[in-house]
Amino acid sequence: MDSVKVGPAAFRRIVIAIDGPAGSGKSTLASLLARKYNYTNIETGAMYRALALKAMQNGVSLDDAAALGALAGESGIELLPKPEGNRVLLDGADVTERIRQQDVTEVASRVSVHPAVREWMVDRQREIGAGGGIVMEGRDIGTKVFPDAEVKIFLDAAPEIRGTRRFLQSPAATAPEAAVLAELHQRDQRDRTRATSPLVPAPDAILIDSTNLSLDQVVARATEIIDERLKTSS
Ligand code: DC
């Protein structure tokens, strides 16, 4: 019987960058891919969210770039990758659920516009991903954090679909669907138009538009892209 031959590429532990707007399904995809390839899943948005919470707790002005940059340096932000997503510690306290609430979501988008904050985040994210074997999702992973990532996926979906998904995910559906859609739209605009590292697809990113795809179909397409890359990359 022929033995199965597995080339060295199959053992390479690459960087898989997933970027896209809110509600496109990045976290779900990243967590499923991490399980499939036995990689570590990093949700970079959770880091911005944790800093946002710290700014709120400390009463730091969201326009004070220098104070926010300094606050980042003083913050103990830890991501603990779990099969169901990242648990998030801020200065040792578990803030995983708190940072998903609407007030923190809004502030996270606002603190993320400041270059001093982004520099700090990008440095930490590069450290985390340095060894490869990582699925990292966010807004600037393929453009800024890992511009040489072996796989870059830009995950998108029509705004109404993203808004409805977000609404259905929200814990107690605390806001009406129209309000969730409006917030998502506003946050998208801010994330896409900020001066530093706006949300744009890297020129070499592969687009997956999940508007008319099931989750299984999105995972199948991403797997195809990754397996192809693992086969061809040296
Ligand atoms: O992915 P998320 O919704 O948890 O991200 C929260 C905010 O953080 C988002 O509105 C923009 C910001 N963010 C960013 O600027 N860059 C990243 N790599 C990840 C998130």
Range name among 30-34, 59-63, 119-123, 182-186 with the lowest pLDDT average: 182-186
Q: Which residues have a Cβ under 8 Å from the Cβ of 115 and sit 6 or more positions away?
A: 65, 196
What is the C-alpha to C-alpha distance for residues 170 and 177, in angstroms, rounded to an integer? Answer: 10
Q: Does the pLDDT value for residue 165 go beyond 50?
A: yes
Contacts with 229 (C-beta within 8 Å, 6 or more apart), sequence order: 14, 150, 151
Ligand 1 centroid to 1 CA: how many Å?
A: 51
pLDDT bracket for residue 3 (50, 70, 90): very low
Q: Which residues contact 57 (CB under 8 A, 6 or more apart)?
A: none
Residue of 31, 44, 98 with the most ligand 1 atoms within 8 Å of its CB, for mutation? 44
For residue 140, the enclosing domain spans 3-233
Ligand 1 surroundings by CB, under 6 angstroms = 22, 44-46, 48-49, 108-109, 112, 138-140, 187, 191
Dist. CA 48 → ligand 1 center (Å): 6
Tell me the CA–centroid distance for residue 115 and ligand 1, in Å. Answer: 14
pLDDT tier at 16 (50, 70, 90 boundaries)? very high
Residue 198 CA to ligand 1 center (angstroms) comes to 10
Ligand 1 centroid to 6 CA: how many Å?
38
**Which residue's C-alpha comes closest to atom 20 of ligand 1?**
45
Q: Indicate the pLDDT class of residue 174, thresholds 50, 70 and 90.
A: low
As for how many domains the chain has, the answer is 1
Locate all alpha helices (DSSP H) within the chain, ordered by sequence: 26-37, 44-58, 65-74, 102-111, 115-129, 159-169, 177-193, 215-232
Query: With 70 as the cut, is the pLDDT of residue 34 above it?
Result: yes
What proportion of the chain, given as a percentage, has pLDDT over 70?
92
| pLDDT > 60? residue 117 | yes
- When pLDDT is cut at 50, 70 and 90, the band that residue 1 belongs to is very low
* CATH code where residue 168 lies: 3.40.50.300
- CB of 47 closer than 8 Å to CB of 99: no
Q: Model pTM?
A: 0.92
- What is the C-alpha separation between 153 and 56, in angstroms, rounded? 33
Name the band, by pLDDT with cuts 50, 70 and 90, for residue 8: low
Residue 144 has φ and ψ, to the nearest 5°, of -130, -50
Please give the pLDDT value at position 171.
Answer: 62
- Residue 234: what pLDDT? 59
Q: Measuring CA to CA, how many Å separate 99 from each of 50, 71, 91?
A: 6, 17, 14
